[in-house]
Amino acid sequence: MKRTGPTNILVRKTIRALRSAAHRNNAPIWRYVAELIDRPRRLRVEVNISKINRYTKAGDVVVVPGKVLGAGSIDHPVTVAALGFSSQAVEKIRAAGGRVLHILQLLEENPRGSRVRIIV
């Protein structure tokens, strides 16, 4: 039987770590993020900076279970964690005073997942 699901080792490691943290810390937010990442690549989320700007305020922590793209602008500092970022997105988030993290880095900082928003 052929294996299904993500073949990228970093994505598989991320999914395993999220499920483990959800169980260990009783944090269902990480289980949901793991489910969203475990989808086929063509169904994975791609979010533009403009959407993050629209649905957040200064100081928010956001998880994107996919890739962040650089279309639009952002005018307040936010912490964004995702699987991947375009180079323009990284520049715009940092120029606004925000932080760019991989989901595993955010998981280490906030294992309970408190005050984290998911943008899909």
pTM for the full model?
A: 0.92
**pLDDT number for residue 103:** 97
CA distance 11 to 6: 7
Nearest C-alpha neighbor of 65 from the set 18, 108, 5, 8: 18
Cβ atoms of 78 and 97 within 8 Å: the answer is: no
pLDDT tens track, the chain, 120 positions: 776 778 889 999 999 999 999 999 999 999 999 999 999 889 999 999 999 999 999 999 999 999 999 999 999 999 999 999 999 999 999 999 999 999 999 999 999 999 999 999
**For the domain 9-118, what is the CATH code?**
3.100.10.10
CB atoms within 10 A of CB 71: 14
Nearest C-alpha neighbor of 6 from the set 80, 84, 71: 84
**pLDDT number for residue 20:** 97
